Amino acid sequence: MRKLIQAATVAIMLMPVAGVVFAQDDQVLTGNDFYDACNSDSEVQQAFCVGYLIGVQEGRKFGTFMVMKQAAAEGDTAAEIDVVGDQIVGNCVPKEVEYGQLKEIALNYMREHPEMRHESARSLIWSSYVEAFPC
């Protein structure tokens, strides 16, 4: 468990740096792009919206788990690793929450913060989860 805490500390220190890199990347889907797709009448755009949201959520969980697994002590369970990973990223989305709810949370956050929608969609989605589901 000590190694998990050390890895968590390093990950937390690197998070602001990663956020800056993401925001400056020209290939990033912006909050405006995501918001427009999710509010479109097109079924294709709606499917893209939900698919992107699932990718963000599952990708974050998988990426965090893989990093934490490397730092885990022998005997640490996947559930323990997940708990530490959630604390690192600053949100603890309950397992019972459905993707439709996550979509509404993300869109409400972007609706309430239009001044931020030019930023990356993934960082805005993450921020909406931090606000809605703090650990």
User: How high is the pLDDT of residue 11?
Assistant: 43
**Average of per-residue pLDDT across 5-18:** 42
Judge whether 123 and 22 are in contact, CB under 8 Å: yes
Span 90-112, pLDDT tens digits: 778 888 999 999 999 999 999 99
User: How high is the pLDDT of residue 26?
Assistant: 63
- Give the phi and the psi of residue 30 in degrees, each rounded to 5: -85, 165
CATH pick for 2-11+30-132 out of 3.40.1620, 1.10.20, 1.10.890, 2.60.40: 1.10.890
Span 22-72, pLDDT tens digits: 344 567 899 999 999 999 999 999 999 999 999 988 888 777 777 777 776
Count Cβ atoms within 10 A of the Cβ of residue 69 and give its class: 0-12 exposed, 13-18 middle, 19 or more buried.
middle
Which amino acid belongs to residue 134? P
- For the chain, which residues make up each domain, given as ranges? 2-11+30-132
